[in-house]
Amino acid sequence: MVNDNSGEERSANVATLESSAFAARGALRVRRNPFVDFADMRNRAFAGLRELSAPPDWVLFLDADEVHGPELPYIAREILPRLGPDVAQLDGYTYHFFGTFGWITDIARRMMFFRYSPRLRWTDPVHEKLVGLAGKTVVIPYVYYHYGNVLPPRMLAEKHLRYFALGNKVPRPPDADQADAEVYLAKADDVRPFRGLHPPAARAALAELESTYAGDLAGLDAALRARRNFKATLVSTFRAANESLRVNLRHAERPGFFSPRSATGPLPSGSKP
């Protein structure tokens, strides 16, 4: 169910949607609505789901600046069916990249799947919240990737100004023409190097972006390293250890419930993500 709120007579993305596997099997519905705010956007999509004779059991909560790893089909196929009716939400964790693709601020818990109900609705015009879930939350030690804060300073400022105009309760961000790398460097003490691998689904796009903005990214990377001191490095090391422990302890809560090795293995013959 796609809420096309581009405001265009025919969005440039419609052709991509129409060539998708969803459209090929008749599972795609596109509705055009004006953009009001983020809660309204999601509620209008929910309105379309209520029209279906067979609404979905689960909904994947995924923003456009997030990328999952190859474990996602396994989670949808193997984990969700094992959750009882008393479970309404499945959470994972995200790496939050900042400035460049080589730095993160944290590994944060994130709502990933939620059980659909016609009672659900979204509130708040920006950083919207889901209301009406009835049931408990299960958390698994799965980490995916959030790239929303890897933008040139001007684009990041424009994004924050739009959020502010919608009612985001923060001090007014600087104008886009005043934005510079200091927006990233001011938080040099709060970031740490990313030591892992980017997900396969994102690597081609990241390589293209790194090639296009090589000078800007390399300059910011060097500036972040120069701005950090020994204390910041030590603190971020302890934070990284604490966050990794928090994620890994989820294995102890539900032994054998989520196995990354089986999650990343080949799909059984005949199965589809």
Q: At residue 123, does pLDDT exceed 50? A: yes
Q: At residue 206, does pLDDT exceed 80? A: yes
**Domain extent listing, the chain:** 56-263
Q: At residue 176, does pLDDT exceed 80? A: yes
Instruction: State mean pLDDT over 162-167.
Output: 93
Residue 141 has a CB neighbour count (10 Å cut-off) of 19
Summary mean pLDDT of the chain = 89
pLDDT tens by residue, 44-90: 999 988 888 888 999 999 998 999 999 999 999 999 999 999 999 99
Within 8 A by CB and 6+ apart from 42, the residues are: 3, 122, 128
pLDDT tier at 215 (50, 70, 90 boundaries)? Answer: confident
Q: Residue 216: its pLDDT value, please?
A: 86
Q: Residue 261: its pLDDT value, please?
A: 53
pLDDT tens by residue, 16-34: 999 999 999 998 999 999 9
**What is the distance, to the nearest Å, from the Cα of residue 24 to the centroid of all Cα atoms in its chain?**
26
pTM comes to 0.88
